[in-house]
C-alpha cells in the first residue's frame, strides 16, 4: 500500500468535506461527520480531516499508478466544490 497526504489551507474545509462525502455517498461506502470523512473507492481510500485552517486529505492505494489517479480525482472534485477558492493548493507528501 502507498499513501500520500496533503494539507490544503482553507477556512471552509469542513464544508467541502461534507459536500464531497455527500456527493460520493450515492455510489460509494462513505462515513463522515462535521470534521472527518472516509471514502472507500474500489481501488483506494480517501480520508479527510478539517480544522479551522485547513483540510487534510490522505489517499491510500495498492500501487503508485492508482494513487496518482485517485489523488487527481479527489483534488478535482474538491476544486469543483471550492470553486471560489480553486484551484486549491495540494502539496502532497508521502506517508
Q: CATH number of the domain that 38 lies in?
A: 3.30.310.50
Q: Write out pLDDT tens, residues 48-90.
A: 999 999 999 999 999 999 999 999 999 999 999 999 998 999 9
Tell me which residue range forms the domain holding 32.
2-85
Give the model's pLDDT for residue 88.
Answer: 93
Q: What average pLDDT does this structure show over 31-41?
A: 97
Is there a domain that residue 74 lies in? yes
Secondary structure (3-state) at 85:
coil
Q: What is the DSSP string of 20-80?
A: HHHHHTTTSEEEE-SSEEEEE-SSEEEEEEE-SSEEEEEEEESSHHHHHHHHHHHHHHHHH
Q: Give a yes or no: residue 22 inside a domain.
A: yes
Reported pTM: 0.94
Domain count, the chain: 1
Amino acid at each position: 500500500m502507498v499513501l500520500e497526504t496533503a494539507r490544503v489551507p482553507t477556512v471552509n474545509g469542513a464544508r467541502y468535506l461534507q459536500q464531497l462525502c455527500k456527493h460520493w455517498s450515492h455510489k460509494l461506502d462513505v462515513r463522515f461527520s462535521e470534521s472527518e470523512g472516509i471514502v472507500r473507492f474500489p481501488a483506494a481510500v480517501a480520508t479527510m480531516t478539517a480544522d479551522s485552517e485547513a483540510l487534510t486529505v490522505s489517499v491510500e492505494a495498492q500501487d503508485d499508478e492508482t494513487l496518482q489517479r485517485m489523488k487527481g480525482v479527489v483534488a478535482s472534485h474538491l476544486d469543483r466544490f471550492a470553486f471560489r477558492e480553486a484551484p486549491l493548493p495540494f502539496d502532497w507528501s508521502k506517508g
